[in-house]
Amino acid sequence: MSDLGRRAEELDAADPLAAYRDAFVTTPGVVAYLDGNSLGRPLRATGERLARFVAEDWGDRLIRHWDEGWMDAPTELGDLLARTTLGAAPGQTVVADSTTVLLYKLVRAAVDARPGRGEIVVDTGNFPTDRFVAEGVAAERGLTLRWIDPDPLAGVTVDDVRAVVGPGTALVLLSHVAYRSGAIADLRAITDVVHEAGALVLWDLCHSVGALELGLDDDGVDLAVGCTYKYLNGGPGAPAFAYVAEALQPSLHQPIQGWMGAADPFAMGPRYEPAKGIRQLVSGTPPIVGMLPVRDMLALIGEAGMPALRRKSEALTAYAVEVADELLLPLGARLASPREPAARGSHITLDHADFQRATAELWRRGVIPDFRPPDGLRIGLSPLSTGFAEVLAGLTAVREVLEGGSRGD
C-alpha cells in the first residue's frame, strides 16, 4: 500500500463521522462521488419519508393537511435550518422559491430600502445568477453596478470592498465561499465595512451552509440566501432559503406580492397587505414535497454538530490537496484554491488544460467531479457522505486519465 493509501486508511479509521456514510444512498458503479458541492447524495431515510408522505400526509389527510402543518412549513423549517446551520434566532429565515427568485426579492427590497443611493456592488467572480440578478435589478431601478475584480485565488477581500463602497452604495452582494476557488470571504469584517458606508450586505451562502460554521446574528448580517441541494442534500430543485435580520424586516418590502405572503391569505381581499415578519417573503404555494429531504439532512447535521462537520471538511480538503500535490501537480495540474484549509470551503479546484476531456472519461469510470470552464476540475467533498479512501480513489483515476489511461496506454 502506498503512503497515500495508508494515510487514507488511518484518516478513515480515526474519523468520528465515518458511520454517517451509511445513512446515504450508494450508487452502483460510482467509485468516487466528488460533486457534493453541486448536488448532495440522497439519504436512505428520505425515500422512506417520501413514501410515508404520499400514503399519510398527502394520501390520508389530503387538503386538510394545509391546516395541520403545511401552511407553517416555510417558517418552521426556516427556524430549524437557522438553528442548525446559520447561527440565527427564530423568525428570520424562510424556505421558499429558488435561490435566483429569493436573490431577486432581496436585492430589490434592499435597494428600495436605501433611497437616494444609486449603486449595487458585485464582483466579477461571483456566480452568474448573482451577477445576472444584480444587472436586472439595476436596469429596473435605474441604478449603477460597481464591480470588484477580485484575485481569482483569494476571492473578495476586505480591502476590495473598502475601495468601492461609499455614500452612493445601496447594497453589496457577495458569495461567502467563491464557487470556483472555494476561497472564504471575511464575512464579519466585510459586513462591518459595508455598514460603515451606510449600505446593506446580502450574502450568498450556497457553498457555505452545511459545510461551514456560521453565526449570522453575531456577525450582524443583514440579508442572506442559500440553496438546500448541496450540503443540505435536498435533491434537485429543492427550495432555497432567505434570512432577513429581524431589525430590517419592517423596512423591507419584497416585490413579488403573492397570496401566501399576505397577512390573511384566505381573506381574498381587494388589495395586498403583507404578513408581519419573515412570512412576507413567501409569494406562492410553498414547495412542501421539496422540503422533506432537507428535514432529514438537518436532523443528521443537528446530531453530528456543525463544528464536527467543519473539522471533517477541512481534513478532507487538506487530504485532497496532499493527494493532488503528489499525483497531479507533476502532470501539469495547478491548485486553484487557497492552500490553507481554514481559508477555503469544502471544495478545491484544480486546473489543467485537459480536464474537460478528462471529465467525460472520469464519469465513464464512475468518478464524478465537476468541470468548470475553462479548465477547472472542482472536487466537492461533503463531510458526512465522503470518505478519505474515496478521495484517493477519485484523484488516482484523474491521474490515470491524464496519463492516457482512457486510451489504454
3-state DSSP call for residue 390?
A: helix
Question: CA-to-CA distance for 180 and 194, rounded, in angstroms?
Answer: 24
Of 229, 231, 241, 319, which one is the catalytic site residue?
A: 229
Spatial CA neighbour of 73 closest among 296, 295, 303, 299 = 295
Q: Is 179 a catalytic residue?
A: no
Q: What is the CA angle 242-248-252, rounded to 5?
A: 75
Question: CA-to-CA distance for 18 and 210, rounded, in angstroms?
Answer: 17
Cell numbers given for 309: 462537520
CA distances from 164 to 123, 124, 365 (A): 11, 13, 47
pLDDT in tens, the chain (409 residues): 689 999 999 999 999 999 999 999 999 999 999 999 999 999 999 999 999 999 999 999 999 999 999 999 999 999 999 999 999 999 999 999 999 999 999 999 999 999 999 999 999 999 999 999 999 999 999 999 999 999 999 999 999 999 999 999 999 999 999 999 999 999 999 999 999 999 999 999 999 999 999 999 999 999 999 999 999 999 999 999 999 999 999 999 999 999 999 999 998 889 999 999 999 999 999 999 999 999 999 999 999 999 999 999 999 999 999 999 999 999 999 999 999 999 999 999 999 999 999 999 999 999 999 999 999 999 999 999 999 999 999 999 999 999 984 444 4
Q: Report yes or no: 141 and 112 within 8 Å, Cβ to Cβ.
A: yes
Of 230, 295, 365, 399, which one is the catalytic site residue?
A: 230
Q: Is 230 a catalytic residue?
A: yes
Of 204, 222, 351, 370, which one is the catalytic site residue?
A: 204
Domains of the chain: 3-44+305-407 (3.90.1150.10), 69-301 (3.40.640.10)
Q: Is 132 a catalytic residue?
A: no
Of 295, 310, 378, 399, which one is the catalytic site residue?
A: 378
Cell numbers given for 77: 423549517
Question: What residue type is assigned to position 270 of the chain?
Answer: P
Helix (H) or strand (E) holding 335: strand 334-335
The structure's pTM equals: 0.96
Q: What is the dihedral of CA 202, 308, 383, 188, to 10 degrees?
A: 20
How does DSSP classify residue 349? Answer: E
Q: Is 296 a catalytic residue?
A: no
Q: Is 7 a catalytic residue?
A: no
